[in-house]
Structure 1
Amino acid sequence: MQTTQSPHLPSEILIIIADMLWHDQMYDPEGMRLVDRQKCFHSFCLVSRQWYSVGISYLYDFPQLWQGNKFVQFTNTVSPPLGVKKGKVDLGSLVKVLNLGSLVHQSSNSQTSRLLSRVKKGLIIFVAPQTGIGVNSLASISKCRNLMHLDLRLARGGVIEFSRLKKTVSNLPELRTLQLPSSMEITRTDSSAGDWPPKLYSMTVGGYLDSEVMSTFNWPPNIRRLELKRCKNLDTPILESILCNEQLLEKLETLYLSRENANMFSELESTVLYVLRNLTYLRMPLDFMEYLCIVPVPDGMQPLPLRILELTRPYFDNELAVEFSDELEKAMYENLCNLWALGIGESSLQYIQDVYQKIDDEIWKHVETSSDDELDKLAIEDLGIYTIDDDPIVL
């Protein structure tokens, strides 16, 4: 006997089920689990009106738009064309993460701007498309007052001026992280560009950098993390002009030097890391040890304050020096005597095989002589030596 009665469960139970479905597939670098989750919540919402009322916010929280015509369907639903009747539910306000990074030709300036205006109320994370970011889009971004993470790395062309971008983000009081377009030229700004958001602590910078500008650049007042990625002229003098900025000398805690930078150490080594007083985390290509983590400690300087060091695939094509592993071991007793954790890229483990255990033992001695308060403060997940994923090879 057939029945049309919808299954009924208390809404509290449905919320628990929805939370379990959501978190079970939250972490997924390849994206397919997130697509499956999207399909799952679509089916969830079709069960009944009660299930729809619980599941609709999960369905629109993080839309997956990179397959087929999903982007067109989504934009037509959230931002209906003129003449199309709008739904009773403001679906755009349910969107928290809008990732358009996989889009190349599907979006335009006007379309991106219109879409942002529809999702501005609840949007927390926005990843810009490879095209489709212009003045109008910046105006729409400035109205996303709850935005915490803004990623513009993939935006092509030099259309956006730095002063205009800073004026845009000055209207985002909740912004924590900002990733600039790799084509953007950083310039000095005056008061008309506004102030940096008070909660902004992390920036990703690329493109062509001017040493004079960067040495006195006005960083966000609470800057703690800096990623240098896809810089076109990051030679030793430029790197030093950036890191010797007075704000970074005192405040920088995390530094990531990407393999995608050009002209790194084409001239000479540097002692610049030794003047960064609070640098606790460093991620860089393995062969940069030779240029930055100099052994022994330079005269008149203290050992590096690093607690975590992660070494990715080598930057230069030529083989490492034969004595690399011995130098790394020696560093554990001298300039890296404060280290608690050492991450090594999978393909680079071969370079330290003969001293792996000695280095690991020495790092644990560092940990054992540290106070519990220090360890609790950083809350490091992996102590000693551990393996990290290789950075992709840049073609």
Structure 2
Amino acid sequence: MTNPHLSSVLDFHPSSPASSPAQLLAASARSAATPAALVGDTPVLWVGEPFTPAGRGFWAKLEGHNPGGIKDRTALYMVAAARERGDLRPGARIVESTSGTLGLGLALAGITFGHPVSVVTDPGMEAQVTGLLRAYGAEVHTVTAPHPDGGWQQARRDKVAELLAAYPHAWCPDQYHNPDNVAAYRPLAHELVAQLGRIDTLVVAVGTGGHSAGIGRVLRAFFPALRVVGVDTCASTIFGQPAGTRLMRGLGSSIYPRNVAYEMFDEVHWVAAPEAVWAARALARTRYATGGWSVGAVALVARHLARTSPAEDRIAAVFPDGPHRYVSTVFDDDYCRTHRLLRHEPADAPDEIAHPAQAVVTRWTRCRTVTDPCPASPSATADGLSGAAR
């Protein structure tokens, strides 16, 4: 494997003519007969200094190289599996709650398999994503008030239930509890093994629990000593903190997704919005490859682990998407000033608590005790949407 501490240089010689037209294509170029064939085989990038200390760094899996982001993988997989089981009838409508990335994936799946798509979101959806969803033919419903207990997430799910009742034969993937959401990420894990050869630590954002469980379980079968580090946001209930108002999208939850593999995690880090913004912007300035809330939070934690772990440890961090949808939020100075997100360089190390219930966290904090705060059977969902066809 190429030494990651050395700068990579493109072998580009414009004065050297190709001996055949085929040589004009890079070895990795792909031809695709369908847009779905563009999903997967995403690159990994070495993230080193100056984002990390000299001689230290981590590998970032750049899922923003998929057409819509990491959830293209699960959208295509969940829809294909539901069609195969007969849960989703030919031409029936797909209805789901989304903060954005899954909606783009479902729009792709709808075009691929011939289904109309209705997505339910909230006022936090970026205008760019709403515009793209409509351009791709999806019907967008925006809830106007949060649920008193479950916040915007539960309000969206309530609207999904309403739409399922209104559309005959409609089907909801229910990404929060559908085990297909986990199974969809096996190929991503295999890609990481092929690309890196050995992985000692995996750093993943946790929202629905799908990609963290799907990647982590497969990698641990290859590497039994793998350390799995989950990244959540402050005011998220997933790992036992109380629910609160959250600015960040794409990670965290106000409900308890049953896809979260609590037994798999060695530790969890909560990251606050200003800290994620700092990391996303620092990545952009120093490494060019960056993303939004989830990418910033994951990169901050991976940076810390690269600094504090043995130098020979190989760390893989999953970047769920790229920066483009965050131009009006994470990368907009006016937005960041309004929400007091600027000039908050994180501490060198996180705070630490012994148990998730020890304290309400408001800044970057680590906990090495990970338990399920709401143990229940997978079928005991709040509204029975899992795998539902209406």
**Smaller-chain TM-score bracket:** under 0.3
- With normalisation by structure 1, the TM-score equals 0.22
Higher relative contact order (CA 8 A, sep 6+): 2
Answer with 1 or 2: which has the greater Rg.
1
Q: TM-score, normalised by structure 2?
A: 0.23
